[in-house]
Chains A and B, each alone.
Chain A
Amino acid sequence: MTLQGWVPEIGEFLTLAEVIDLAFDYRGNTTVVKVDGTEIEGYVFNRNREASEPVIEMFDAAGTGPIRIPYSEIRNIKFTGRDMAAGNSWQAWLERKEREEAEKAARLETGPA
């Protein structure tokens, strides 16, 4: 299950603070849509909801930062980047090993060419 590609609809059932928490947990780039209509794409690595003025911190897509954006300036966050934790390197490894074993067994069965 990944949030990759999700554009949240903030409203009665989903608050901005909840979306920010999900973005903070997301291991990919997101696009922060600001109240003034501008957008910043990057990685949200921190959020402080208990500060007198709650803020997020992010590195933009070029790695510049940290950029601090108050919650009050955010309209929404879109999950636009690839979810780097949704990879399956271990699964791929297992599949490759199984394939190799099967090939080895098949070679043994058919004997030397």
Chain B
Amino acid sequence: MSVPLSQMWTVAAYVLKQKLSGRERYPLVLMLEPLFRCNLTCAGCGKIQYPAQILKKHLTLEQCLKAVDECGAPVVSIPGGEPLMYPQIGGLVDALVERKKYVYLCTNALLLKEKLEQGVLEPSKYVSLSIHMDGLREEHDEAVCRDGVYDRAVEAIKEALRRGFRVTTNTTLFDGASPLRMREFFDEMMGLGVEGMMLSPGYGYSKAPDQEHFLRRGRTHDLFSKMLSDARKHWKFNQSPLFLQFLMGKRDYECTPWGNPTFNLFGWQRPCYLLQEGYAESFQELMETTRWESYGRKSGNEKCQDCMVHCGYEATAVDDTFSSWKGFRDTLVATITGKL
């Protein structure tokens, strides 16, 4: 696993503090969406289908920072939309670094080289450029519905690494993905020199253009087992090994939707990053008034039955690490040996 020690320590200390204080539900990663505008229309994305006046809007820097402070999570992920289209992205990242938040800037990298050349972003141990890469050239360009995006992303990754940035990749997988091709992709990304890779099955967004390729639970286990069994030593994953084992079907977890709360133009999204069942005005209102028992697999909610997405389950896996000696030992063993 490739999460830097300082980040691991910060997260560990935070989770232990929550547990010692008896806090049953706590946020781990804030999903901060400053805008919905994007320069791609990916087949599996259900995040950007809004009328023009909504796509033109974005959060103010003050709104973003208020949400960060309200939430208190040690990690802030900035997806969107395309966050590099947010006019104040540099100021936002700087302010998060000042607050010692670990930042994942999730970008398709089309604008990255240009922004790096403009000096909009500075390298920091707190900042990881998390590049959207859904596979090798053919698969990625098909996933994002545009030729040439893979090559531009690779070029931007090289440039970011050359400038001393932490670079990770984030990959969403859909039905039909080839385990063999994905293994080649892992080799390719590690060959570029990225710090680590993040994987997740895609969520079955009802608003996404492609409704045919969302993974069901059994297929997810099958795909991830084939991809990750006998994982190569040099592959590094920037996520909990227990979460990857869950995707492989080796563990059974329940969703913790409050683990990755989402803030955007509409407020605090209920109940999670994926479902839009309403919005709360404050983080406290979100935590106190959302009917959490109505979500997750055990609830019987049909929208949750096939979901195994990182934003629902990675927080569960991290919580498991600190809930028992077994969880801690399993995490440690997988981290040291690289075996999943």
**Contact of B53 with A61 in the complex, beta carbons under 8 Å:** yes
Q: In the bound complex, what is the Cα–Cα distance between A81 and B271 (angstroms)?
A: 27
B306 at interface (Cβ–Cβ under 8 A)? no
| Cβ < 8 Å to A, chain B residues 246-304 | 265-267, 278-279
Expressed in whole angstroms, the minimum distance between the Cβ of B174 and any Cβ of chain A is: 11
Q: In the bound complex, what is the Cα–Cα distance between A59 and B261 (angstroms)?
A: 23
Q: In the bound complex, what is the Cα–Cα distance between A102 and B96 (angstroms)?
A: 50
Q: Is the interface of B mostly helix, strand, loop or mixed?
A: loop
**Contact of A63 with B56 in the complex, beta carbons under 8 Å:** yes
Q: Say yes or no: A63-B49 contact (C-beta < 8 A), given A46-B266, A87-B209.
A: no
| Cβ < 8 Å to A, chain B residues 44-58 | 46, 49-51, 53-54, 56-57
Q: List, in ascending order, chain A residues with CB within 8 A of B56's CB.
A: 63
**Contact of B210 with A90 in the complex, beta carbons under 8 Å:** yes
A88 at interface (Cβ–Cβ under 8 A)? yes
| Cβ < 8 Å to B, chain A residues 65-83 | 81-82
Q: Which of B54, B145, B146, B209 contacts A63 (CB 8 A)?
A: B54
**Contact of B267 with A87 in the complex, beta carbons under 8 Å:** no
Q: List, in ascending order, chain A residues with CB within 8 A of B209's CB.
A: 87-91
| Cβ < 8 Å to A, chain B residues 210-269 | 210, 265-267
**Contact of B278 with A42 in the complex, beta carbons under 8 Å:** no
Q: List, in ascending order, chain B residues with CB within 8 A of A46's CB.
A: 266-267, 278-279
Q: Which of A27, A47, A89, A92 contacts B50 (CB 8 A)?
A: A27
Q: List, in ascending order, chain A residues with CB within 8 A of B57's CB.
A: 59, 63
Which residue of the partner chain B has the closest CB to A86? Answer: B49
Expressed in whole angstroms, the minimum distance between the Cβ of B48 and any Cβ of chain A is: 8
Q: In the bound complex, what is the Cα–Cα distance between A45 and B36 (angstroms)?
A: 13
A48 at interface (Cβ–Cβ under 8 A)? yes
Q: List, in ascending order, chain B residues with CB within 8 A of A28's CB.
A: 51
Q: List, in ascending order, chain B residues with CB within 8 A of A63's CB.
A: 53-54, 56-57
Considering only CB atoms and an 8 Å cut-off, how many residues of chain B contact the other chain? 22
**Contact of B50 with A84 in the complex, beta carbons under 8 Å:** yes
**Contact of A89 with B145 in the complex, beta carbons under 8 Å:** yes
Q: List, in ascending order, chain A residues with CB within 8 A of B329's CB.
A: none
B207 at interface (Cβ–Cβ under 8 A)? yes
**Contact of B49 with A84 in the complex, beta carbons under 8 Å:** yes
A85 at interface (Cβ–Cβ under 8 A)? yes
Expressed in whole angstroms, the minimum distance between the Cβ of B243 and any Cβ of chain A is: 28
Expressed in whole angstroms, the minimum distance between the Cβ of A100 and any Cβ of chain B is: 9
A108 at interface (Cβ–Cβ under 8 A)? no
Q: List, in ascending order, chain B residues with CB within 8 A of A87's CB.
A: 41, 49, 209
B43 at interface (Cβ–Cβ under 8 A)? yes
Q: Which of A45, A62, A85 contacts B279 (CB 8 A)?
A: A45
Q: Which of B49, B210, B266 contacts A85 (CB 8 A)?
A: B49
Q: Which of B51, B53, B54, B145 contacts A93 (CB 8 A)?
A: B145
Q: In the bound complex, what is the Cα–Cα distance between A64 and B62 (angstroms)?
A: 18
Q: In the bound complex, what is the Cα–Cα distance between A7 and B266 (angstroms)?
A: 26
Q: List, in ascending order, chain B residues with CB within 8 A of A31's CB.
A: none
Q: In the bound complex, what is the Cα–Cα distance between A107 and B334 (angstroms)?
A: 52
B159 at interface (Cβ–Cβ under 8 A)? no
Q: Which of A47, A59, A85 contacts B54 (CB 8 A)?
A: A59
Expressed in whole angstroms, the minimum distance between the Cβ of A86 and any Cβ of chain B is: 9
Extra A-B contacts (15), CB below 8 Å, given A24-B278, A27-B50, A61-B53:
A42-B53, A45-B279, A46-B266, A47-B278, A48-B278, A63-B57, A85-B49, A85-B206, A85-B207, A89-B209, A90-B43, A90-B145, A90-B209, A93-B146, A97-B142
List 21 A-B pairs, Cβ < 8 Å.
A24-B278, A27-B207, A28-B51, A42-B53, A43-B51, A45-B266, A46-B266, A46-B267, A48-B278, A59-B53, A59-B57, A61-B51, A62-B53, A63-B54, A84-B49, A85-B206, A87-B41, A89-B209, A91-B209, A92-B145, A93-B43
Residues of A within 8 A of B (CB): 24, 27-29, 42-43, 45-48, 57, 59-63, 81-82, 84-85, 87-93, 97
- Which 7 A-B residue pairings sit nearest by Cβ, starting from the closest? A90-B209, A63-B53, A90-B43, A85-B207, A93-B145, A85-B49, A84-B49
